[in-house]
Amino acid sequence: MTIATTKSALQAEGVSVWFGERKVLEDVNLVFPSNQVTALIGPSGCGKSTFIRTLNRMHELIPGAGLAGSIYLDGEDIYGENVDAVNVRIKVGMVFQKPNPFPTMSIKDNILSGLRLSGRKIENAEELVETSLRRASIWNEVKDRLGDQALSLSGGQQQRLCIARSLAMNPEVLLMDEPCSALDPGSTRRIEETIIELSQSMTIVIVTHNMQQAQRVSNQTAFFLAEENTPGGVVEFGATEQIFHGPVDQRTNDYVNGHFG
Separation CA 100–CA 120 (nearest Å): 22
9: nearest Cα among 85, 91, 67, 89 = 91
Separation CA 133–CA 168 (nearest Å): 9
* Helical packing angle, 107-117 and 125-135, nearest 10°: 110
260: nearest Cα among 225, 232, 218 = 225
**DSSP secondary-structure letter at 115?**
H
Q: Which run of H or E residues covers position 56?
A: none
> What is the per-residue pLDDT for 1?
30
> What is the per-residue pLDDT for 49?
95
Whether the pLDDT of residue 250 is over 90: the answer is yes
165: nearest Cα among 204, 108, 118, 120 = 108
| Across 166-172, average pLDDT | 94
| Across 12-39, average pLDDT | 96
> What is the per-residue pLDDT for 122?
85
Please say whether the structural domain 8-256 has been given the CATH code 3.40.50.300.
yes
| Across 232-248, average pLDDT | 97
Confidence of residue 48 (pLDDT cuts 50, 70, 90): very high
Domain ranges in the chain are: 8-256
Query: Residue 148: which residues within 8 A CB-CB, separation 6 or more?
Result: 106, 107, 142
How much of the chain, in percent, has pLDDT values that exceed 90? 88
Whether the pLDDT of residue 11 is over 80: the answer is yes
205: nearest Cα among 177, 232, 230, 224 = 177
pTM for the full predicted model: 0.92
Per-residue pLDDT reduced to its tens digit, 178-205: 999 989 999 999 999 999 999 999 999 9
| Across 224-248, average pLDDT | 96
CA 151 to chain centre: 23
Whether the pLDDT of residue 2 is over 50: the answer is no
Confidence of residue 4 (pLDDT cuts 50, 70, 90): very low
Confidence of residue 6 (pLDDT cuts 50, 70, 90): very low
> What is the per-residue pLDDT for 8?
60
Bigger pLDDT: 160 or 3?
Answer: 160
Q: CA torsion sign, 129 to 135 to 140 to 145?
A: negative
* Average pLDDT of every residue of the chain: 93
Alpha helices in the chain (DSSP H): 48-54, 85-91, 107-117, 125-135, 139-142, 155-167, 185-198, 211-217, 240-245, 250-256
CA distances from 82 to 14, 87, 249 (A): 21, 11, 40
Per-residue pLDDT reduced to its tens digit, 98-148: 999 999 999 999 999 988 888 888 889 999 999 999 999 999 999 999 999
Residues 160-190 as b or e (16 or more Cβ within 10 Å = b): bbbbbbbbbbebbbbbbbbbbeebeeebbeb
> What is the per-residue pLDDT for 260?
85
